[in-house]
Amino acid sequence: MGISNSNKTVNKERIDCNGTFKVTLSLTAEPDIKDNPTDIVLILDRSRSMAGSSLANLKNGAKKFIDILDESTDGAADGQIGNGSQIGIVSFATTATQDTQLTTSVAELKGAVDALNANGSTNHADAFTKALQLFDPNSTNAKVMVMFTDGATTAGDDPTPVAAAAKAQGVVIYCIGLSGNGSPDEAALKEWASDPNSAYVAIAPDDTELEDLFSDLAQDIAKPGATDIVVKDIVDPCFKIISVSPPSKGMASLLNTTTVQWKITKLGEKKSEGAVLEFTVEHIGPCSGTLAVSESISYSDKEKNKVTFPSPKITVDCGTSVLPEPCPVPKKVTIKGCEDSVEFNAGELGLESLGRILQVDVTLKNICPRKRVALAVILTEEDAYHVEHPRGVKTFVVPAHTGTSCRDVLVRCLKFVLPESLNVSGTTNCGCICNPRDLKVKFIAHYIDTDFACCKVKI
């Protein structure tokens, strides 16, 4: 059957700057169906939520699956599953039905698929039970179930023990979920499927992909097992690989800080086999945002299987930068002694004297998630006698960040206007801004959002 599944996953959706996460590569290979006869049961969801295009695309996908195995088992599209392999159909809603027994007749199988109608709830336990009953326990054929569903269990018993019993009897279980209609329980699919579940579970985002998904699975089942496998994964330069765990099959080596190579001599030659490699990656450098984990990943084997891996992404949060205010433009206005209200149009007036703008940046250390911070900035200028003269006070509320842990928050562009006429640090008779000025900046910061509560006092 060749490589029937390939997958790449990361264990986190989001990390902090310089954080770490784990990458998992998985492969599944199956033996050649011509030399290893296989009994396959298609378990098809016909619950109410499948009505419309979903059921139509499911039917097309299931019939394409049958056609591919028709030709693959004996080299001819002759309407008969060849070389001892058989296919059966079980469909389910509130209860499950054995729509066919295991058969070699393509016409009978397609007729059962075409007759499906959508209605009722979703009983996965009965579906697994009816599918398991189709297998002959005395047969030496390999046994495979392909479970398709678009929703969580809403009727019947817990399906997990039934799936576990089937796997204990040597049945290989693939689970296909459709997320476009309902809400398949992905954790349950992984529990039901064979190990490694990352290689035996696939989720279609919408029903238009069902035909291609069933077609790809059938083609993979028809290929022989794989030998001399080489997988090379190169992570993006924003990351480096810091450790590689021993794979479940084969050997893995770190070629450099960004490249891991995985070699497997044989996989799935005599029976269905899965293989898993896990390695740990650390974020480096200034890049942040949503980043692709890999720069590239390649696969090769002796049988020339065409294998692709997903390209997962991870969000890297390198802290929060806050810009509390735009730079103010000073304007001059005069209020006469006897006036209690003044209307003034500043027009395009600018500063009438020399001056400077001091921009202050400050990093608030170890600010915890979802907590706002009150920040006060006090600016003074020191004269030759070390007396401080006020030059400005500003207060801000720093928004809360939504990171996963406490982190530093950079507050930028806190601007103070310093007219040169207020210079007390040195001589001011040059009429320029070349004199040094001795300034002091003080900060006061505390949380606004706390869990503090006064003690209850009985009076």
Domains and CATH numbers, the chain: 33-222 (3.40.50.410), 320-330+350-447 (2.60.40)
In this predicted structure, the answer to whether residue 456 has a pLDDT above a threshold of 90 is: no
- Look at residue 186 in the predicted model and tell me its pLDDT: 84
> Per-residue pLDDT averaged across 250-276, rounded?
90
Tell me the pLDDT tens digit for each residue of 159-185: 999 999 999 999 999 998 887 655 678
Q: Which residues pair with 381 in a beta bridge?
A: 389, 439
Percentage of the chain beyond pLDDT 70 is 86
- Look at residue 330 in the predicted model and tell me its pLDDT: 62
- Look at residue 219 in the predicted model and tell me its pLDDT: 74
> Per-residue pLDDT averaged across 237-265, rounded?
95
| Higher pLDDT among residues 8 and 423, named by residue | 8
In this predicted structure, the answer to whether residue 230 has a pLDDT above a threshold of 80 is: yes
CA separation for the pair 301, 223 (Å, rounded)? 13
CA separation for the pair 247, 279 (Å, rounded)? 9
Q: Which stretch of 32-36, 90-94, 120-124, 284-288 has the lowest confidence by average pLDDT?
A: 32-36
CA separation for the pair 147, 174 (Å, rounded)? 6
- Listed residue (12, 41, 59) closest to 315, CA to CA: 12
Q: Which stretch of 65-69, 70-74, 121-125 has the lowest confidence by average pLDDT?
A: 70-74
Which pLDDT band, with edges at 50, 70 and 90, does 7 fall under?
very high
Q: Which residues pair with 294 in a beta bridge?
A: 235
Give me the sign of the Cα torsion angle 399, 402, 407, 410.
Answer: negative
Tell me the pLDDT tens digit for each residue of 306-358: 888 999 999 998 876 666 655 555 666 677 777 677 766 655 545 455 778 89
Tell me the pLDDT tens digit for each residue of 119-152: 999 999 999 999 999 999 999 898 999 999 988 8
In this predicted structure, the answer to whether residue 421 has a pLDDT above a threshold of 60 is: yes
> Per-residue pLDDT averaged across 84-96, rounded?
95
Q: Which stretch of 94-108, 109-123, 342-356 has the lowest confidence by average pLDDT?
A: 342-356
Tokens of 343: 């209307």
In this predicted structure, the answer to whether residue 227 has a pLDDT above a threshold of 60 is: yes
Percentage of the chain beyond pLDDT 90 is 48
- Look at residue 185 in the predicted model and tell me its pLDDT: 81
Which pLDDT band, with edges at 50, 70 and 90, does 108 fall under?
very high
CB 373 within 8 A of CB 445: yes
- Look at residue 351 in the predicted model and tell me its pLDDT: 47
Which pLDDT band, with edges at 50, 70 and 90, does 437 fall under?
confident
Which pLDDT band, with edges at 50, 70 and 90, does 212 fall under?
confident
In this predicted structure, the answer to whether residue 210 has a pLDDT above a threshold of 90 is: no
Tell me the pLDDT tens digit for each residue of 440-451: 999 999 998 876
The Cα-based distances of 390 to 49, 287, 309, 333 in angstroms read 70, 40, 63, 21
**386: exposed, middle or buried (Cβ count in 10 Å: 0-12, 13-18, 19+):** exposed
